[in-house]
Amino acid sequence: MSPETLREIENQLRDLRQAFNNQDLKTFRGFFWTNPRFLHLDPSGRLDQGWGAFEEVLDQEFRYLDRVQLTFRNPQIQVFEERFATITTEWSLLQVDPTGEERESGGRASFSMVRFGKDWKIVMAHYSSLEGVPD
């Protein structure tokens, strides 16, 4: 894995998080493979098959919530032949609704990324919750 590739992926994770926190669906969308074969598994176990299904959920969340704050910690990045990468990381999310009520969640996430030309795209995202798991 070249240092340049590692930097590209680290920068992509940072920019992805910033787009999410800004509730900028158009920019956030650019980090993903917007294909019917895209898969997203959320912490509740919901499987969104295809980018469109996931985008609908995000659109509703962004419209409903006043503020979101997603954080990634300790990403472990593995790159294969400079074309495919896996990332595992810890995540936490703060959601604030219009009444000011806050909801926090967190756990682990894994992403599969593929290089399409010069761009890395997430083709699969899996979030799991650590809620209710003993320390």
For residue 17, being part of any structural domain is answered with yes
CA distances from 51 to 6, 7, 46, 55 (A): 25, 26, 14, 6
pLDDT digits (tens, 9 = 90+) for 85-114: 999 999 999 999 999 999 999 999 999 999
Domains in the chain: how many in total? 1
Q: In this model, does residue 1 exceed pLDDT 80?
A: no
Q: What pTM did the predictor assign?
A: 0.90
- Domain hosting 93: range is 3-129
- Tell me the percentage of the chain whose pLDDT exceeds 90: 85
For residue 134, being part of any structural domain is answered with no
Predicted pLDDT at 134 = 47
Q: Report the CATH number at residue 20.
A: 3.10.450.50
pLDDT digits (tens, 9 = 90+) for 21-37: 999 999 999 999 999 99
